[in-house]
Amino acid sequence: MTLAVGSTRAEFEAIVGPSGLISDRPTCEAFAIDGMAPEFTLMPSTTDKVAALLTFANERGLAVIPTGGGTKLSTGNPPRRYDAAISFGKLNRVIHYEPADLTITVEAGMKLGELQVLTGRDGLWLPLDPRGGAQSTVGGIIAANAAGPLRQAYGGPRDMLLGLKIATTEGKIAKTGGRVVKNVAGYDLCKLLTGSFGTLGVIVEASLKLFTKPPGSETFAFQAGTLESTHDLRSRIRRSPLDPLRMALIDPSGAAVLREGTREEDQSGPELWIEVGGSARVIKRCEEELNKLASATGMPLNLLQNPESSWCCISDLALWLQSKYPDVTIFKAALPSEASEEFLMRAERAADAEQIPLAGFAQPGLGIVHTSLLQVKLTQSTAGLAMRLRQAATELGGTLIIEHCPVGLKRQIDVWDAGGDDLEVMRKMKGTWDPNGILSPGRFVGGI
């Protein structure tokens, strides 16, 4: 151990205590990002300790990356530097919970699954199904603005956020929203921090709006002949009285992967899944409307049995697919809603030309399309295919990022789409909030 490392260790230990500092290689390797492991793993037990850690790291120019459940660390470019991970495993307490007001305030390390169990006792929930599922932490969900198909009915984290408490690189605790009268320094910190991937400040506490959980739900699947026909079906659904909780468009390859290991028969065409929720009477009326659509379009309609595990797979593609396809690459396109089917068709043609198997999972009501390259090992043509898919998204009026991929691909292509007109504003915000560039350096858009 060098003198500098020993001094840094001593300073960190003085802040978090011996039990809050880990520097053995096996443990630190568990927090590695794209093959780069931190020298230290820090586990503060209070928000003040988080602020103190940031003050020290800022003074020493040490790069820190906050981590929660670790479920989204594969998103983003490789870090330029990575000296310490700040783990939120000890910051998982409930600060305030008022079921009657439909509000809850928790520390950033609270896992989504634990929050759902707590609020579920009162018939409430936080209607989010992000990547990482129950293991996702509240802080990580907000930092990544992570949402799944439930966004169709409820919106995303930004829509449920009432207030935040943030630790800054100056060692201050900034508050916004919630029971605070005004925002700090004129910024709407809730919007600023949501989706910033830990590059501006470290979220330590969040106040959230809860919802009444539907008493029941059912998922129905239309067996569509072609992607073009699903586009027509979606138009009919929009004009109907239906108000789905979730909707997913799954291409034949995606449906086949979902059914692996089950007794369900594979279908030859794409499928449109629709989840409806409410009382038994409401669900019955929704089923009647869906059967009318099935009769009008000639598309078979099936009630899916035990669909929740499949919805979890769709929400968490990386975790689900990586076990079978170690070098799986997952693209996320954000498009005008009407372009979802067209993008899937272009993606399938481009992948077929490279002889790379592709599975498509779309949230068509939101214009979100995930395409997954089912590769056991990265091939030389993957980067070129990624560029063609990005071009296709651009031509259709959208953007495309690489949400998950091997580090070998990240060395060839920026995972983020080119920054738009607001990139310069983002750089200025980074300079204001993190002038020494110690927070997740290089991980975000434009190398921020």
Q: CB neighbours of 439 closer than 8 A, spacing ≥ 6?
A: 63, 64, 65, 66, 169, 198, 199, 200, 201, 202
- C-alpha 416/C-alpha 75 separation (Å) is 9
Mind listing the pLDDT tens digit for each residue in 185-230?
A: 455 778 888 999 999 999 999 999 999 999 999 999 999 989 999 9
- C-alpha 50/C-alpha 189 separation (Å) is 18
Which DSSP letter does residue 208 get?
E
Segment 89-102 mean pLDDT: 96
Distances (CA, A) of 12 to 55, 126, 167: 11, 35, 17
> 23 forms bridges with which residues in the sheet?
none
Task: Indicate the burial class of 200 (C-beta count within 10 angstroms; 0-12, 13-18, 19 or more).
Answer: buried
Segment 302-330 mean pLDDT: 93
Question: What kind and span of H or E run contains 336?
Answer: none
Question: Which of 319, 327, 321 lies closest to 408 in space, CA to CA?
Answer: 327
Stated pTM of the model: 0.93
* Contact (CB, 8 A) for 200 and 191: no
Q: CB neighbours of 128 closer than 8 A, spacing ≥ 6?
A: 112, 141, 146, 147, 148, 150, 154, 156, 157, 160
* Contact (CB, 8 A) for 72 and 114: no
The CB density around residue 297, as the number of other CB atoms within 10 Å, is 17
Question: Which of 63, 72, 113, 66 lies closest to 89 in space, CA to CA?
Answer: 66
Question: Which of 155, 154, 156, 174 lies closest to 164 in space, CA to CA?
Answer: 174
* Contact (CB, 8 A) for 168 and 203: no
Mind listing the pLDDT tens digit for each residue in 126-153?
A: 999 999 999 999 999 999 999 999 999 9
pLDDT of residue 181: 31
> 209 forms bridges with which residues in the sheet?
103
Q: How many secondary structure helices (H) and strands (E) does the chain include?
A: 17, 19
First to last CA, the chain: 31
Which DSSP letter does residue 33 get?
B
Angle at CA of residue 150, ends 145 and 156, nearest 5°: 25
Question: Which of 247, 252, 246 lies closest to 224 in space, CA to CA?
Answer: 252
Residue 420 has pLDDT above 80, yes or no: no
* Structure tokens that stand for 214 in this block: 């539907």
> 166 forms bridges with which residues in the sheet?
174, 203
The CB density around residue 196, as the number of other CB atoms within 10 Å, is 24
Angle at CA of residue 362, ends 356 and 366, nearest 5°: 145
Angle at CA of residue 199, ends 197 and 200, nearest 5°: 115
Residue 423 has pLDDT above 90, yes or no: no
Mind listing the pLDDT tens digit for each residue in 348-365?
A: 999 999 999 999 999 999
Sketch out the chain's domains with CATH numbers: 3-89 (3.30.43.10), 94-212 (3.30.465.10), 217-314 (3.30.70.3450), 316-410 (3.30.70.2740)
Mind listing the pLDDT tens digit for each residue in 232-249?
A: 999 999 999 999 999 999
- C-alpha 104/C-alpha 111 separation (Å) is 13
pLDDT of residue 22: 94
For the chain, the average pLDDT equals 93
